[in-house]
Chain A
């Protein structure tokens, strides 16, 4: 008997998790690498100290993370309402809750990766 955990839609749970981890993880990795490079380059190019550079870089990462998280939860919360409004007001933008959630998850993941990247590089350079 197949004992693979399954979702209500009868799809295998692991592939469902893997898809989502890949979606957010690749964005987070990109954000982390960009943040590390960004901090190092800014330290070399500008006269600002590590505290100022890490504050600005972390804040930018947090901005992306906050925007992504808010956008994702907003899409889940009000997605059907927005889809309805789009449909009845004939806006023809093809906006969908699914697409929005995926996009916001990537933006949020990118921001989170950036925040972690700034913490990592700053902790190393602080010593």
Chain B
């Protein structure tokens, strides 16, 4: 298991990551054109009113004072209030409702990527240079090369509009109303926000089917990209492992091919792949921004796009920080798993 010091070191890395992201977002928002005071005051406001708003929110202070105040607020998790998107609503509350949506989409996407990518990579390695291998490699290359903003609309046209199998957008059919709490041995607990889990907890199986049907297309679109990279990595890693001496020894002892591959090869070949899965999660979060926009899902990706569109700076800052935090925490989890699989990492 991962040593305490290893986990502490990884947690400490959160500080420079978040400071870096906060600084980067602050700089980009101040370099980019647009005046938040004008946005807040409204397009018809007079110059005096705009100046008053500027004084009120501290934009007339020197830039380094604003930077210091921004960092201090961020450190206390004070992300501010939305200017335009949902006026006077705190950024934290806006994100609180949307984070589970994005996490659910990314997790299902990642699951699809892993469940398809690993076996495809193994098959491709076992049947190296066969027709199956070529088809799998072409599939992987296609998956890596096709952008989500193209594949998203294409699958909607094919599976929703033409074939009518899956719904085009949203998270669940409008006819379903889910209560805000569920019963756990007589205690009322709030919903998790993960709609597939909530429908199961509420024992609404018809709603669960609807939620899954809504999730299939968006999760497949981002999962396909993830699958491509994972299968490519798995193939290369597996090919390297099967050339190792211990695999030759296992074969020489008369062990069957299947057991040699699955028992001795798979675990060792999986070690480098698991690290890529962590980085992939970041790509999935980035993909979620596009996927949510294409499929009309109200996650933090869609909120980020809307906030950039209307110049709602606090929401943009908060959303990017949450993305960074999610990515770092997932990588921490992956690192701990990695160190469990390969104890040399802790040295």
Return chain B residues, CB-CB under 8 Å to A74. Answer: 17
Q: Is the CB of A69 within 8 A of B27?
A: no
B214 at the interface (CB under 8 A from A): no
Complex-state Cα separation, A62 to B63, whole angstroms: 11
Q: Is the CB of B67 within 8 A of A58?
A: yes
Q: Is the CB of A62 within 8 A of B13?
A: no
8 Å CB contacts to A: which residues of B1-34? 10, 13, 16-17, 19-28, 30-31
Interface size in chain B (residues, C-beta < 8 A): 35
Our count of residue pairs bridging A and B at CB distance below 8 angstroms stands at 103
Known contacts A60-B31, A70-B17, A73-B17; A84 and B23 CB within 8 A of each other: no
8 Å CB contacts to B: which residues of A3-54? 51, 54
Complex-state Cα separation, A115 to B278, whole angstroms: 33
Q: Is the CB of B276 within 8 A of A58?
A: no
Question: Which residue of the partner chain B has the closest CB to A52?
Answer: B63
Complex-state Cα separation, A67 to B13, whole angstroms: 15
Complex-state Cα separation, A12 to B334, whole angstroms: 34
Partner among B17, B21, B276 whose Cβ is within 8 Å of the Cβ of A77:
B17
Q: What are 18 A-to-B residue pairs whose CB atoms are below 8 Å?
A: A55-B30, A63-B27, A66-B24, A69-B20, A70-B17, A71-B20, A76-B13, A77-B17, A77-B328, A78-B331, A81-B275, A81-B278, A87-B272, A88-B233, A88-B272, A89-B232, A89-B233, A118-B64
Known interface pairs A51-B62, A67-B20, A70-B21; 12 further A-B residue pairs with C-beta atoms within 8 A, sorted by A's residue number? A59-B26, A59-B27, A60-B27, A62-B30, A62-B67, A63-B31, A66-B27, A69-B19, A71-B20, A80-B345, A82-B279, A88-B240
Binding site for A on B (CB under 8 A): 10, 13, 16-17, 19-28, 30-31, 62-64, 67, 229, 232-233, 236-237, 240, 272, 275-276, 278-279, 328, 331, 334, 345
